[in-house]
Amino acid sequence: MIKKPPFRKLRGYAFDPSLSLKIDTALINNITYKIRWEDEEQLKPGPIGEYIEVIDYDPTVNKFYSPVDLNHPYILAQDGLDPSGSNPQFHQQMVYAVAMTTIKNFESGLGRPVLWSPHRVKEVANARPQNNDNLANPADIEKVIDEYVPALRIYPHALRDANAFYSPQKKALLFGYFAARPADVTLQMPDSLTFTCLSHDIIAHETTHALMDGLHRKYTEDTNTDVLAFHEAFADIVALFQHFTFPEVLKNQIAATRGDLASQNLLGKLAQEFGIAIGNYGSLRDAIGTFDKKKKIWTPKEPTGEEYRTIMEPHNRGAILVSAVFEAFLTIYKNRIADLLRIATGGTGILQQGELHPDLVNRLAAEASKASSHVLNMCIRALDYCPPVDINFGDFLRAIITADTDLVADDSRDYRLAFIDAFRKRGIYPNGIKHLSVESLSYPEPDTKNLQELFDILVDFLRDYRNEIIYTKKRNEIFDINRKYIAGSYDTDRKIFGLHRRLGITARQNTIDFEKLTGIMFSNNWQSLGIPTSNAYAGKGPSFSVNSLHLASRVGPTGNQRNQIIVSLVQRAQISIDKNKKDWPKITPGETDLGFVVNGGCTLIFDLDTLKLRYAITKPLLDTDSLNYNLHQLNRSRCLALHQHQIGSVADQSRFQAYFGMGKRNSFNEPFNFLHTH
């Protein structure tokens, strides 16, 4: 019996076409990607598979390019089409290969299949009462439902522009192409066509935006200076660390730098051809150095500690986070190779002149690959430990430390200290901690003794959810189960009262303690704080949403397994802020022409085996200190911070904020299109 192959081999560029035209990089730039195998029934010409749907329409010439059939015997026999800048079918192959590689890395880190951000569709029906209670049937109330998106669409030739972006509205990646305008004609031929769909870094970057939107849909809202910068930075981090998965590239750069990855090298650079084509003297971004245009030399970046307070533009601010993560990786890498260098240098620490021995190169490359894989998994895994709204870089550091502590008990190589040190050097500190340490950065396990009745109800619900989803592998079935357990199922013989309904009813019986835990309001008089009334269940409570419900299963380095259920809750309030006679900002709840929306939220992480609550990670909408006195007030500091960021001085407002801010009249349509062109 012939077994199904585990993966499909497809040729492509490790970086972009420009490196195949240089004598010193041509041999390492053409690589073979190993993609999860999809059968002929699953993978249609396009390619169109389970996760990806490539539609190659070029609106500038009003033409559909013939779709590549990766199951054609000739293409299978030669590991895909030859890399080519002029063959549209290879362009289709390239975006498919890189996108699927990025998806594989996310699923490895998250411990579950990824789902794309759903379409949000209004469903309207007539309400009718139920016999067993006074509530209307939830299935018959006007509400917004999530509609499954099976595949992310990719358009390799969507626009004639120096741009590429993820469209949250279309659930698609749109890649542009344009004529190069290099500042130095010796670096690239002027007017030569540059295709963004042929850059590994750009494809991985945009795919990451789409994957992030599937995990945290509120991260596209510009609520503080870090949110959009985080989106950009994380997309760069994924693209950078995927360079380390290419063995020949890694060995080449280890040999070229004599093992010093802090020096100038290809692994730390992003989108080189694109950067040169738009007039830079090098790559679009560099994690470890900068190019001096006047002196025309590369110099390493040295953190000053002032960057985080002074740099605000999303891409440049995101570069601070990228450099912090990359420095953490370099520290980990240096610690891992210290013994090898002692052996190779006889204890002096100084390598002999000349080329490194191939065996030493192989060992250094193996350690670099392992360290980069660990760092990338740490970053991806941390996404589940982030608050669902209003993230900042300090939140991400806490998420990294907590997630790693949760899975890896013995940090014998000091990975966590490497991250803390790199963030500290850039002046990035989380809010709400008294000192900087692994213990203080890790989120504590919450005290739920006063919520036992509520959690007994939730535990029964989560146990049913676990039993139904734990062995489900198909993504559409996972989506249906998640939606059923969030919204409920009332039209079948086996009725399921969804998580949203359970919380909406039972949390109001344990209001104060649950509000302290989540920072979300479930008490009466929610309207007085500008919180809308829920359309569900006959409008008997405050509006809130269950943004996500996930099951994750992760395995640590010692073989220990961590199984978890992750729930995220979000609530919004409509407010306006003006100043009274004493020039003191006054928060006025309610919808007004000059008002805006402030969101609060909470990520709840349950241990799947014990069904106990492990973490409650909040960005509270309520002032939780006031709850100790049974007072319900909005979180004043968060309201004022959002007001300062969004509605502050017009002179300080970026064009992005002006178009896509949280004001009532602003529509949030294509943030990444605008962001990537400004």
- Residues 487-544 have pLDDT tens digits of 887 766 677 788 888 887 776 666 888 999 999 998 888 989 999 988 776 557 889 9
Residues 6 or more apart whose Cβ sits within 8 Å of residue 598: 572, 573, 575, 621, 634, 638, 639, 642, 662
**Residue 618 to residues 256, 278, 432, 601, 604: CA-CA distances in angstroms?**
46, 41, 12, 6, 9
**3-state secondary structure (DSSP) of residue 556:** coil
Average pLDDT estimate for 459-468 = 88
- Closest C-alpha to 642, from 626, 625, 619: 619
Dihedrals phi, psi of 276, to nearest 5 degrees? -70, -40
DSSP 197: G
Task: Identify whether 150 is preceded by a cis peptide bond (ω within 30 of 0).
Answer: no
pLDDT band at 135 (very low <50, low <70, confident <90, very high): very low
Determine the straight-line distance between the first and last CA of the chain, rounded to whole angstroms. Answer: 56
Instruction: Name the CATH topology of 1-116+151-215.
Output: Elastase; domain 1 (3.10.170)
Burial annotation 266-280 (CB, 10 A radius, 16+ → b, else e): bbbbbbbbbbbbbeb
Tell me if the domain spanning 222-443 has CATH number 1.10.390. Answer: yes
| 661 has a pLDDT exceeding 80 | no
**3-state secondary structure (DSSP) of residue 565:** strand
Q: List the structure tokens of 386.
A: 């982030």
| 595 has a pLDDT exceeding 80 | yes
Q: List the structure tokens of 282.
A: 């090098």
- Residues 615-644 have pLDDT tens digits of 999 999 999 999 999 899 999 999 999 988
Q: List the structure tokens of 348.
A: 């002096």
Q: Alpha-carbon Rg of the chain, whole angstroms?
A: 26
Mean confidence (pLDDT) of the chain? 87
- Residues 79-101 have pLDDT tens digits of 999 999 999 999 999 999 999 99
Average pLDDT estimate for 167-196 = 92
| 15 has a pLDDT exceeding 80 | yes
pLDDT band at 678 (very low <50, low <70, confident <90, very high): low
Give 573-614 as a 3 state SS string: EEEEEEECCCCCEEEEECCCCCCEEEEEEEEEEEECCCCCEE
Distance of alpha carbon 385 from alpha carbon 236, whole angstroms: 20
Q: Are 190 and 235 in contact (CB under 8 A)?
A: no
Each domain of the chain, given as residue ranges in start order, spans 1-116+151-215, 222-443, 445-647, 649-678
- Residues 262-299 have pLDDT tens digits of 888 888 888 888 888 888 877 777 888 887 777 777 78
Q: List the structure tokens of 628.
A: 């100790």
